[in-house]
Amino acid sequence: MSASPNSYCPAVEPDAAGGEKPVKCVVWDLDDTLWSGTLLEDGAVSLRSNVAEIVKVLDSRGILHSIASKNDHDQAMGQLEKFGLAEYFLYPQINWNSKASSIKSIASSINLGLDTFCFIDDQRFERDEVAYSLPEVRCIDSADLDGLLERLELNPRIITEDSRMRRLMYIGDIERKKAEEAFVGPHEEFLATLEQEITIAPAKLDDLNRAEELTLRTNQLNTTGYTYSYQELNEFRQSDRHKLLVVGLTDKYGTYGKIGLVLIGCAEREWTIKLLLMSCRVMSRGVGTILMTYILNLAKEAKVRLLAEFAPNGRNRMMYVSYKFVNFREVERKGELIILENDLSRIQDLPSYVKVEIL
């Protein structure tokens, strides 16, 4: 789904039939769903024959997994370890709470919208409870597992290396969060312990699949919601009237992958930031301010007027605040589209807690 640079379009990726959003996380029940039998009653349970394949194939497509099960946590996790599947489930909610509250907790921890979740359970009561409380979540009967891998919403059109590593990146995030919770001191001092390195580089041909994926998947830390196809991005990459920048981030816990994208339209005396987005996983890492500081310095060196477009989508107000934080001011409105300008008179220094490499 593409939007012209002068139109507003929320970042939603349709399935092949032009329908609903793709699923980014599958939440599983356990008893008589992921395995056959009831753990606390039967003692011994057996993994359903097709479940391991489903979990691993979806993981390879960049789709995350979690658990919402009314069960004994330690016993259930022990069983998943025996089946060799425990590592695939992020933020498992194995307790006696409602399934809806468990799914809300997972969504909050992973930082994904509920409309990108699906829930699999054998009990109609549990599916109905989730459907009533969380109508955005798609509910699937565990009797329908045989066709799961063919469902359109579970077949992303784009699968990149970053997609395949998504679960491992989230595991790195969990370790970072543990370290942050244990850290005593100012946030910037904690960031200094991470040994972060940000790379900012013109997009290369092999970056374009990930760049397209970012425009389709990211709507919270996204200034306009414009989406672009691989072909359109490649044209921008080769154009002397555009700058297409890709941002990467690593730290001592591993790589975040490619987590940011910037598109700047470059006229002779005026540049316009058409799109600036970042993965929600780096929300608290200061990447946005660093990226904007780089762009401001670049424009100042080029001696051009710098504008930026912002299109509210109900979830991206933080990006508007980020523009204001680095001294952009509103100069025009075109319907929902807000035009901002930075006079380049006050540019913050890059923070000392991160290494920035310009490629």
- Quote the pLDDT of residue 20: 65
- Quote the pLDDT of residue 115: 94
Nearest Cα to Cα of residue 156 among 171, 170, 166, 169: 166
Residue 45 lies in a domain: yes
Residue 134 lies in a domain: yes
Average pLDDT, the chain: 89
Number of domains within the chain = 2
* pTM greater than 0.75 (yes/no): no
Dist CA 103 CA 109 (whole Å): 10
Compare 17 and 331 and report the one with higher pLDDT.
331
Tell me: the pLDDT tens digits for 196-254? 999 999 999 999 999 998 888 776 788 998 888 999 999 999 999 999 999 999 999 98
Please tell me whether residues 126 and 50 are part of one structural domain: yes
Tell me: the pLDDT tens digits for 312-327? 988 888 889 999 999 9
- Quote the pLDDT of residue 45: 94
CA 279 to chain centroid, in Å, comes to 5
Dist CA 236 CA 135 (whole Å): 39
- Report CA-CA distances (Å) from 347 to 170, 276, 299: 33, 18, 11
Residue 1 lies in a domain: no
Residue 173 lies in a domain: no
Residue-range definition of the domain harbouring residue 310: 186-358
